[in-house]
Amino acid sequence: MATRPVTKQSALSTLEHLRAEIEQRNPAQPEFHQAVHEVLETLAPVLEARPEYAEPGLVERLCEPERQIIFRVPWTDDHGHVRVNRGFRVEFNSALGPYKGGLRFHPTVNLGVIKFLGFEQVFKNALTGLGIGGGKGGSDFDPHGRSDAEVMRFCQSFMTELQRHIGEHTDVPAGDIGVGGREIGYLFGQYRRITNRWEAGVLTGKGPLWGGSLIRPEATGYGNVLFAAAMLRRRRGEDLEGQTAVVSGSGNVAIYTIEKLTALGANPVTCSDSSGYVIDDKGIDVELLKQVKEVERGRVDLYAERRGASARFVPGGRVWDVPADLALPSATQNELDADAAATLIRNGVKAVSEGANMPTTPEAVDALRQAGVAFGPGKAANAGGVAVSALEMAQNHARTTWTAARVEEELSGIMNAIHTTCDETAERYGAPGDYVTGANIAGFERVADAMLAQGVI
C-alpha cells in the first residue's frame, strides 16, 4: 500500500499532538517528558522525507515502553531492621536486539527517571550499530554509607525478583550511578545461585577474572573524550593538546574522562561531588582521585587536602564557573542549566560533551548551539560504555577475553563512527554541525526501520 505524503506542517502538528498525549498519559514524569520532547522536536523533517514512518503509529510505539516492571525489594540492615525499597526495570525497545542498559541505585530513582534513561538508551544503543535494544532499571536504594554486607543483602533481594525478567537473549543489565563492580558481583552471584547457570552474558560490567571485559570501567569516560576530540577536529580543526577542561562529578565516568583527557594532552582542572568542587591548577591527579573516591569512598575535599597547594576545595558552587576550553558534564541529569551555559559561553568554551545522561537542560542546549559551541549529546557522546558492554557480551558468547589494546581499538572505531554518523545525518537533513539533530535522527532511523520490518508488535 502506498504511503501518503507528509508535509512539514502536518508532521509538526502530529508530533506536537503526540507530545501532549505522552505528557497526559505519563503524569509527574518531567525527565521522561524532557527526553521525549528533545527527540520529537527533531523528527519532522524525517517524517516529511520518509512518510512510511508516519503510517503505522510507529513514533507512538517508539515512545511507549514494551514492558515496565516495578517490584518490592525487602532487605535487612546490619541492626536487624527490615528495610523496603522499590525496584524498577523498563524494557523499552527490543527491535534491534535484547534490551541493554544499566541499573541505577540512588534515592532520586523513580519510574519517570528510569523511563527517561531507557528512552535515551534506545537511541544510544542504536547509534553503536551493535545489535542491542534499549532498557534501564534501578532502585531508590542509596548504597552510600552502607556496609558491604548491607549492599550484598540488598543486591541479593533485588536480583531475586529481577532474575525472572532478564537473560542474555532477553535483557542484559549493567551498572550506572551507585552500581559498580561490587554491586555487579553481588547481583551476578545471586543470579547464578538462583538459576544454577553460568550465564556470563546476563550482566555486563563484571570483573575481568569472571567474564568481564577489559576497558569496561573506563569506556564511558574514554568514549566521551574520543567523541569530544572528534568534534573539536571537525568543527575547529584543533586537537586536545593543551586544552583546559572542566569535568563535573567524581564517579566512574568523571574519573576516566579525566584520565583520558590527560593522556591526550588536555588539562582537566576540576572534579566535584554533592559537597562542592575542586579546582586543581596543575590538573587533577587521577590516581589520588581514584584512591579517595574508589577505595576510601571519601569526598572531594579530601582530595584537595592531600593534593597540596595547587588544589582548593570550593563548597557548593559549580565547576562551570571555572574558565575552560572544554566542558564535560559527567555527574547527573540537568546539572548544567542556562545560567551555567551563559557563563561557559562568556568564558569562551569551544565544546561541551555529555558524559552523563541528559546533564544539560534544554535551555542550556539551545544557548550553546546558538552560540556556535560544538555540543555532543549524551546519546552519542557517552555511548562508549554500552558499546564495550556489547563487546563484553560478544566475548562472553565466545568464552574468550580480548586484550585491552583490542577493546580500546574497537571503542575508538565505534566512537569515531558514531561521530561520523551524527555529523553526516545532520548534514543530510539540513542542520550541519548540529549533533543533537544528527544523533536523534540517525538513532531513530535505525530503530524505525527494524520496527517497520517486524510488523506492528
Enumerate the active-site residues: 136
Q: What single-letter DSSP state applies at residue 417?
A: H
Q: Quote the CA–CA distance of 417 and 224 in Å, as a whole number.
A: 13
Helix (H) or strand (E) holding 17, with range, is helix 8-25
220 assigned to a ligand binding site = yes
Residue 7: CA atoms inside 13 Å, Cβ hemisphere, count?
Answer: 3
175 assigned to a ligand binding site = yes
Tell me which residue has cell 507512538.
Answer: 60
Tell me which residue has cell 581499538.
Answer: 409
Residues in the chain: 457
Q: Quote the CA–CA distance of 136 and 85 in Å, as a whole number.
A: 17
Q: Quote the CA–CA distance of 247 and 261 in Å, as a whole number.
A: 10
313 in helix, strand or coil? strand
124 assigned to a ligand binding site = yes
Phi, psi of 68 (to 5 degrees): -130, 120
Helix (H) or strand (E) holding 344, with range, is helix 338-346
169 in helix, strand or coil? coil
Would you say 221 and 189 are in contact if contact means Cβ atoms under 8 Å apart?
A: no
347 assigned to a ligand binding site = no
The residues facing 119 across adjacent strands are none
Q: Quote the CA–CA distance of 226 and 232 in Å, as a whole number.
A: 10
Would you say 18 and 63 are in contact if contact means Cβ atoms under 8 Å apart?
A: yes
Compute CA distances 287 → 78, 293, 403, 445, whole Å.
Answer: 32, 10, 23, 42
Phi, psi of 81 (to 5 degrees): -85, 135
Tell me, what amino acid is at 368?
L
Q: Which residues are annotated as a binding site?
A: 100, 121, 124, 175, 220, 252, 389
User: Can you say which residues are annotated as belonging to the binding site for substrate?
Assistant: 100, 121, 124, 175, 389
Residues annotated within a binding site for NAD(+): 220, 252
